[in-house]
Homo-oligomer: A and B are copies of this chain.
Amino acid sequence: MAKRALPLSRVYRLLEPGPVVLVTTARRGKPNLMAMSWHTMMEFEPPLVGCVISNRNYSFDTLKATRECVIAIPTVEIARKVVGCGNTSGRSVEKFSKFGLTPLPASRVKAPLVDECYANLECRIADTRMVAKYGLFVLEVAAAWIDPARKDPRTIHHRGMGQFMIAGRTVRLPSKAK
Cα–Cα, bound, A170→B162 (Å): 10
Total count of chain A residues near the partner, CB < 8 A? 56
Give the shortest distance, in Å, between A106 (CB) and chain B (any CB).
Answer: 24
Q: A16 near B38 (CB under 8 angstroms)?
A: yes
Q: B172 near A163 (CB under 8 angstroms)?
A: yes
Cα–Cα, bound, A172→B166 (Å): 10
Nearest 3 CB-CB pairs, A to B?
A18-B18, A168-B168, A17-B157
Cα–Cα, bound, A172→B134 (Å): 29
Give the shortest distance, in Å, between A95 (CB) and chain B (any CB).
Answer: 14
With CB as the reference atom, state the residue of chain B lying closest to A10: B160
With CB as the reference atom, state the residue of chain B lying closest to A163: B170
B-contact 0/1 string along A153-166, CB 8 Å cutoff = 01101111111111
Cα–Cα, bound, A163→B172 (Å): 5
The yes or no answer to A150 lying at the interface (CB within 8 A) is no
Q: A177 near B158 (CB under 8 angstroms)?
A: yes
